[in-house]
Amino acid sequence: MVCIMIIGLIIIPIADADILWGPYITNTGINSATINWKTENATTGIVKYATGEYYTGSSGYDHTIADTKHKQLHHLIITNLTQNTIYHYQLTVGNEHLCTDDHSFRTFPLNSSFTFIVYGDTREQTSLFTQMERHKLVADRIAQEENISFVLHTGDMICFGENLEEWNDFFNAARAMMANTTVYPVPGNHEDNHTNYYDAFNVPQWYSFDCGNAHFTILDSNDWADMTEQTKWLQDDLDSDATWKFVSFHHPPYSSDKRHWGGWSHLGDHWEYIFINSSVDAVFNGHVHAYERYEKNGIQYVVLGCGGAPSYSLAEEKIPGYQNSFEHMLGYAKITIERNTVTMDIIKVADVSDDNKEVTYIYPENTIFETVVLGDASPSPPLSPFSSLTTHTNVNIPMVGISLNRSVIDYGNVVAGYNSNNESVKITNIGSSAVNVVLEVNSESETAQNFYEQSLYVDSRLYNPAFIIAHIPESNSKDVVTQLKIPSGCIEAGTQGAKFVFWAEV
């Protein structure tokens, strides 16, 4: 009998997957956060938590908060936290004393620097792929980012807002990310204005929050939204003395999407004059399943619908204000605010086939497509119609066991004084001996050669393009990352082209 009683007191660890949703974090501020979870049956729950410093020193928690109501979906608010501090927590569910692994989150800073993530359009496509196959690739990569204050999701998390099974898939695919990073949502058209969206995140239709010296405004751009009421609220909300101002809503007012060329301009008619007069720095959107960036009236309009939904194709002719883009690729934006500087890195996660049926290549961690400094007052130079730079790859001696995953690298538009796209070539040694690969650049113009001579990077190191060696281990693979940076003042001349030629040496 004594043994039975002792066994009854043991806390049994469980996998987070035994919980339908979560645990996941929402509504974090400088001194509070909400821990959320949903179970199949109605239960109670307890959250134990501690600062990172306490948890590291004692391997445990010194605070406990409970939700004693039997229900499926819980929103447990923790208060009296310290700003800009990492907290560890553990969720115990129900009377069975079943507990999750340790998780953590960071409270918002009051004035100091911070980093946040923006991505969106994570819904699956029935018969082609699931969220576990696409969205999870992006969410897991975000989960590996360090010191993230929050993630902003630009909408279309699922296909049908009323379908709880799809919501289960969303929370399952994003489990690792959402257990350790606060998520702020934007309503997309596929959420259908359904109560499932509002129940999950416990947010109003439009809202705002502050983090550090930045103000974030979330709007509803869908047909069901009351634009008159919302626009009046927006005018008051942006009347803020924050150093940086960001706005997010689902439909992009500017886009080169083939099916909706020009974007959803009616939204600009409602709101753009407010953005300009209120000194908004950037607007984040989704809906178009690609990455696009435009600059209008000093505001960066960034489309980040590349979180896992089926990829869209952009028109060859881009609308005015176009800066950069990619298609058929998964990715997200990582944005760091350091006092008076905002740096936005566009991170590539994977390539997707043109027919949307398969992922064709997964990029190494922190593969940056482009870096943009927001708020830069210097005007962007016009894009030259002769500035497109494309390289070609081949293998001179293929019998030694070298294979390449790409034969063409398109750097996009190349402009003097600005970075081009960052592109990767994956070289795999399929032989049995370790080899070196020598990269030689042969260009069709002196200008293109000059670009490479000053700024060819392999594995983030500057190399002489005349003789570049990348060592490939035996029967393994090596990712050779070429990054073309155009030096300021370099003059373009004629059509630019170049070739990579790979020699393999045993």
Q: Let me know whether 63 and 172 are in one domain.
A: no
Single-letter amino acid, residue 270: H
Q: Let me know whether 365 and 393 are in one domain.
A: no
The answer as to whether 5 is a domain residue is no
Q: Rounded to 5 degrees, what are φ and ψ at 177?
A: -70, -50
Strand partners of residue 291: 304, 326
CA-CA-CA-CA torsion for 205, 201, 283, 414, nearest 10 degrees? Answer: -150
What CATH number corresponds to the domain at position 55? 2.60.40.10
Q: Let me know whether 140 and 71 are in one domain.
A: no
The answer as to whether 379 is a domain residue is no
What CATH number corresponds to the domain at position 140? 3.60.21.10
Segments in the chain below pLDDT 70: 1-17, 95-97, 375-426, 430-506
pLDDT at 449: 57
Q: Let me know whether 161 and 240 are in one domain.
A: yes
The answer as to whether 465 is a domain residue is yes
The answer as to whether 404 is a domain residue is yes
- Structural domains in the chain (count): 3
The answer as to whether 318 is a domain residue is yes
Q: Let me know whether 235 and 360 are in one domain.
A: yes
Q: Where among 106, 126, 153 does a domain terminate?
A: 106
Strands 497-505 and 435-443, by their bridges, are antiparallel
pLDDT at 9: 38
Among residues 263, 243, 261, 245, the alpha carbon closest in space to that of 253 is found at: 263
Structure tokens at 113: 């620097």
pLDDT at 497: 56
Q: Let me know whether 118 and 186 are in one domain.
A: yes
Strands 98-99 and 12-13, by their bridges, are parallel
The answer as to whether 183 is a domain residue is yes
pLDDT at 25: 98
pLDDT (tens digit per residue) in 375-392: 643 333 443 434 455 666
Greatest pairwise CA separation for the chain in angstroms: 89
Chain centroid to Cα 145, Å, comes to 10
Among residues 320, 254, 265, the alpha carbon closest in space to that of 288 is found at: 254
Q: Let me know whether 287 and 324 are in one domain.
A: yes
Q: Let me know whether 311 and 246 are in one domain.
A: yes
Cα separation values, 285 from 95, 214, 294, 295, Å: 43, 18, 11, 14
pLDDT at 18: 74
Which range of residues forms the domain containing residue 39?
11-106
Q: Let me know whether 395 and 363 are in one domain.
A: no
The answer as to whether 6 is a domain residue is no
Q: Where among 87, 106, 125 does a domain terminate?
A: 106
The answer as to whether 185 is a domain residue is yes
**What pTM did the predictor assign?**
0.74
pLDDT at 393: 58
Q: Where among 82, 106, 130 does a domain terminate?
A: 106
Single-letter amino acid, residue 371: T
DSSP letters of 10-78? Answer: PPEE--GGGSSEEEEEES--SS-EEEEEEEEEEEEEEEEEEEHHHHHHHSS-SEEEEEEEEEEEEEEEE
Q: Let me know whether 138 and 55 are in one domain.
A: no
Cα separation values, 64 from 32, 60, 77, 408, Å: 14, 11, 12, 57
